[in-house]
């Protein structure tokens, strides 16, 4: 039995999320089925981030114990073969030590939220961006984002059903940038609360469209009350882009 680390990407549109559930197809279930088809043995996969329904990933990291002796390239090719035609691809596969844990060994997770800010909706990028037709003030969004960086109680940006033991988190990065008609929100932290990125995004959108002034973000943070924050942005604009480990 060899423990493998896998970097995978997937379109989360038609999945109930990463985690196996009875309510529909999950990325985890699909990947485990591909591993079993390759090895003939069941395997449990562990992901660095348990993405929600509709959320995508370009740099999800997973570990799995694979009961077949094979070169890493064969593992990669075989799993991709058995994943067809699902929108899941194994980008890299390599053996790691038995103590490696995709979730608990992770030092930082990176997410990007994409907003398409133009009058016309998306065609080619439909299902990958949040279309916001009204103009957004990029500088106001940047000013508001600054107060969220650092170690804070993020209760206001936490889903009601969040199961984390503590609302305290350290947000290492929150960058608001633009490229053409898109606005990117890039966030990095060791861990996030349930829906934290999407609630931050929804709140920044309301600041960007002038509903709130930039100073409102600090008031929301201090309130420690979910009802004070903006809406939860839709899942399809969110993508898990990378996970950092000690050797990264």
pLDDT bin (cut points 50, 70, 90) of residue 75 is very high
This prediction has a pTM of 0.95
Per-chain mean pLDDT for the chain: 96
Q: What does the block give as tokens for 227?
A: 């009802």
Cα(22)–Cα(5) distance, integer angstroms = 26
The predicted pLDDT at position 230 comes to 97
Cα(61)–Cα(93) distance, integer angstroms = 10
The predicted pLDDT at position 83 comes to 98
Question: DSSP code of 119?
Answer: S
pLDDT > 60? residue 69: yes
**Portion of the chain with pLDDT greater than 90, in percent:** 94
The predicted pLDDT at position 198 comes to 98
The predicted pLDDT at position 1 comes to 87
Region 91-95: what's the mean pLDDT? 97
Matching residue, tokens 């994409």: 114
The predicted pLDDT at position 161 comes to 87
pLDDT > 80? residue 248: no
The predicted pLDDT at position 185 comes to 98
The predicted pLDDT at position 37 comes to 96
The predicted pLDDT at position 52 comes to 95
| Domains recognised in the chain with CATH numbers | 2-95 (3.30.70.580), 108-244 (3.30.70.660)
The residues, any chain, with a CB within 8 Å of residue 130's CB and separated by 6 or more, are 113, 114, 115, 116, 201, 233, 234, 236, 237
Calculated CA dihedral for residues 47, 196, 171, 98, nearest 10 degrees:
-10
pLDDT bin (cut points 50, 70, 90) of residue 66 is very high
**Portion of the chain with pLDDT greater than 70, in percent:** 99
Q: Which residues carry out catalysis?
A: 52
The predicted pLDDT at position 45 comes to 97
Alpha carbon of 5 to those of 34, 210, 235: distances in Å? Answer: 15, 45, 26
The closest alpha carbon to 21, from 55, 49, 50, belongs to 50
The predicted pLDDT at position 60 comes to 98
User: For 124-172, what is each residue's pLDDT tens digit?
Assistant: 999 999 999 999 999 999 999 999 999 999 999 999 889 899 999 999 9
User: For 232-247, what is each residue's pLDDT tens digit?
Assistant: 999 999 999 999 998 6
The residues, any chain, with a CB within 8 Å of residue 9's CB and separated by 6 or more, are 56, 57, 58, 59, 60, 88, 89, 91
- Residue 108 gets the label, from left (phi > 0), alpha (psi -120 to 50) or beta, of beta
Alpha carbon of 233 to those of 2, 128, 213, 238: distances in Å? Answer: 40, 13, 19, 9
User: For 2-22, what is each residue's pLDDT tens digit?
Assistant: 999 999 999 999 999 999 998
- Residue 201 vs residue 248, higher pLDDT: 201
């Amino acid at each position: 039995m060899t423990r493998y680390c896998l970097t995978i990407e997937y379109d989360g549109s038609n999945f109930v999320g990463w985690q196996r559930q009875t309510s529909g197809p999950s990325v985890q279930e699909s990947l485990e089925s591909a591993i079993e088809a390759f090895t003939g043995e069941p395997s449990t996969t562990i992901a660095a981030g348990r993405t929600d329904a509709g959320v995508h990933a370009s740099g999800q990291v997973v570990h799995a114990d694979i009961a077949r002796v094979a070169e890493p390239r064969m593992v990669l090719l075989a799993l991709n073969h058995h994943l067809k035609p699902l929108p899941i691809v194994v980008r890299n596969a390599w053996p790691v030590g038995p103590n490696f844990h995709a979730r608990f060994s992770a030092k930082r997770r990176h997410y990007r939220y994409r907003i398409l800010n133009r009058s016309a909706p998306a065609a080619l990028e439909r299902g990958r961006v949040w279309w916001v037709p009204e103009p957004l003030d990029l500088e106001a969004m940047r000013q508001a984002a600054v107060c969220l960086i650092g170690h804070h109680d993020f209760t206001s940006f936490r889903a009601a059903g969040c199961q984390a033991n503590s609302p305290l988190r350290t947000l290492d990065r929150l960058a608001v940038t633009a490229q053409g008609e898109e606005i990117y929100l890039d966030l990095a932290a060791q861990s996030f609360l349930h829906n934290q990125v999407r609630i931050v995004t929804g709140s920044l959108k309301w600041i960007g469209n002038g509903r709130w002034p930039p100073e409102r973000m600090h008031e929301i943070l201090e309130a420690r009350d979910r009802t004070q924050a903006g809406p939860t942005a839709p899942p399809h604009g969110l993508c898990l882009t990378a996970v950092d480990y000690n050797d990264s």
